Structure 1
Amino acid sequence: MDFNLKDKIDAVIFDVDGVLIDVRPSYHKAIYETFKHYTGKDLKEEDFIFVKKKAGINNDWESSSVLILMALGYITKEEALQYTTNQTYIQQKIFNNPYFDYNELVDVFEAFYRKFRENEILLLDKSFLKALKKNYKTGIVTGRPKDDLIFSLKLFGIEDIFDFVVDDDYTDDKTKRKPSKEALKYCVDAICKKGGVYIGDTISDIMMTKHYNDSYKPYVYYIHCNFYNEENTTLPKEYIYATVKFQKELEDLLL
């Protein structure tokens, strides 16, 4: 695109997992443990990658549920792939499944997560985040529960850097939580006047931004983070402004 991105935006909005914070030692490990708790089997890495990256199931409680229900034959891979286009259908299968109580699974998952959460790693330097805050309004749109998010932000001393936060508890209406376009709109309405950037790392982040732009203004550019250096040839590149693997690339784009 033949323009300077910095001239087009006044807000930078972040996803958390895989963008601000490395959650492989925490949330990802909790998914593996939750799967084993319910199935008695070890989760295959290829199935984890399929659900998180290809199907784009952002919420880790729902990711765990789909993985378990796939193993039990209740949800097919074809159905899982509908998540970014028909989230409500998959959620209803999860919430009404005959094998386990979803709220109980959430408690099991959170117990595992709390064992591992202090192992998380900050992916972006605090100094970089502070520099962004001097130039832009800053926000978060995440599928994390509020308590988990507050813990991690405080763990790294970055809780005061963000002007507005949309977490998984911002509304009781589950259909408006991330990856719904309404979650992004709620943040944009609060901090963005001219235009914004959303920085994410999954197909659901891409599609949330795309669906927002289809319906609302101001325009939000999507930057895709690949800090884990993962191969994914299925990403819809037409909706991605830039892909970055290192913080320096974000600095060049935004500072």
Structure 2
Amino acid sequence: MKVDAVVLDIDGVLVDVADSYRRAIVESVLCVYGDTIPKRDVQLFKNAGGFNNDWELTHATALYILARNEGLAYDLASFTDAIEASGGGLAGARTVIANAVDPDVRERIYAEWDRERLTTVFQQLYLGNELYRKLHDREPDLDADGFIHDEPVLVTPDTVAWLADQPLGIVTGRPAAEAAIALDRTGIDVLDERLFTMDSDTPGKPAPDALISLTERFDGEANRVAFAGDTLDDIKTVHNAADADPEREYYAIGVQSGGLSGERGRQAFENAGADEIIETVNELPTILGS
């Protein structure tokens, strides 16, 4: 596969977030509501689509816990399947709740659903006290060391060196400041105009806007672009870009170092239409050429 440019996601591709972002999701809900889901089940929400933003995934998890406590009949797998069937994301979760419970029950659930507090707790747990003060300019009300320090780097120095020789871009759901921290840890240097984050003025994945806009910013003509990500939304992003921008060729590479590992993950990527499936980002030099 010969391409003119390489685009990467960060989480699950360059750094392992199982004990940082995913831990923050489940522990934020536990902290606020005293109940939560197993960390492994976060992947069910990711597979439902539309949860590129982990704050919204946290909100949806809390919504499920609150609804379950009010007698929601769905188990988590059924709930996330219904979210997928309802269009994915937090809007899909709200649709499922609206259709599954009586109006008075729904109002009780929403009265308890404190999205602002969930996000605040998430940021404190993830960043820890020092970074939370620095990035949010406010005093934390929890005592947290910060899960951000538990993000093993997945990309090797040899791969970083190879990436440095490629036209390279990043499309991530992280806030810009947190993306900068992760990239600094990996040693990867990306031009500001080639970095799209939660703070960029584009819709989140699987909308194709960021990927297309990034492709237009590569020097010269980038007509063949590979995007490597660890979720099904990353694959959908590529297909959506190909539909919206038929003058270029976009290739979807599924990376199994996130939640979609093993044969089951490979099958999920194949079903989603990935052009290539690799175990780690460190296989990119082999499949894309030296």
Matches within 5 A, 1:51-200: 51-55=45-49, 57-73=51-67, 76-82=79-85, 85=87, 87=89, 89-90=91-92, 97-114=110-127, 115-134=146-165, 136-160=166-190, 164-171=194-201, 176-191=203-218, 193-200=222-229
**SS of structure 2 residue aligned to 1:73:** helix
CA contact (8 A) 1:150 1:159 kept: no
Distance 1:227 1:168, change over 3 A: same
Aligned length: 243
> Structure 1 residue 241: deviation in Å?
1.0
> Structure 1 residue 44: deviation in Å?
2.4
TM-score normalised by the chain length of structure 1: 0.83
CA contact (8 A) 2:36 2:61 kept: no
Question: Percent identity at matched positions?
Answer: 26
> Matches of 1:188 and 1:82 in 2, distance apart?
31
**SS of structure 1 residue aligned to 2:168:** strand
Which consecutive residues of structure 2, in runs of 5 or more, have no partner in the other structure?
73-78, 98-106, 128-145
CA contact (8 A) 1:198 1:209 kept: yes
TM-score normalised by the chain length of structure 2: 0.74
Q: Of the candidates 233, 239, 246, which is equivalent to residue 210 of structure 1?
A: 239
Aligned to 1:26: 20
AA matched with 1:210: H
> Structure 1 residue 158: deviation in Å?
2.3
CA contact (8 A) 1:66 1:80 kept: no
CA contact (8 A) 1:56 1:202 kept: no
- 1:76-113 CA-to-partner distances (Å, cap 9, x unmatched) read 43442147x4558338779x954334333222111111
Aligned to 1:253: 287
> Matches of 1:238 and 1:108 in 2, distance apart?
34
Distance 1:71 1:92, change over 3 A: closer
Q: Of the candidates 242, 247, 251, which is equivalent to residue 276 of structure 2?
A: 242
- 1:185-219 CA-to-partner distances (Å, cap 9, x unmatched) read 12111126221000011111111111111111311
**Structure with a larger share of its residues in helix:** 2
AA matched with 2:284: L
**SS of structure 1 residue aligned to 2:187:** coil
Bigger Rg, which one? 2
**SS of structure 2 residue aligned to 1:224:** strand
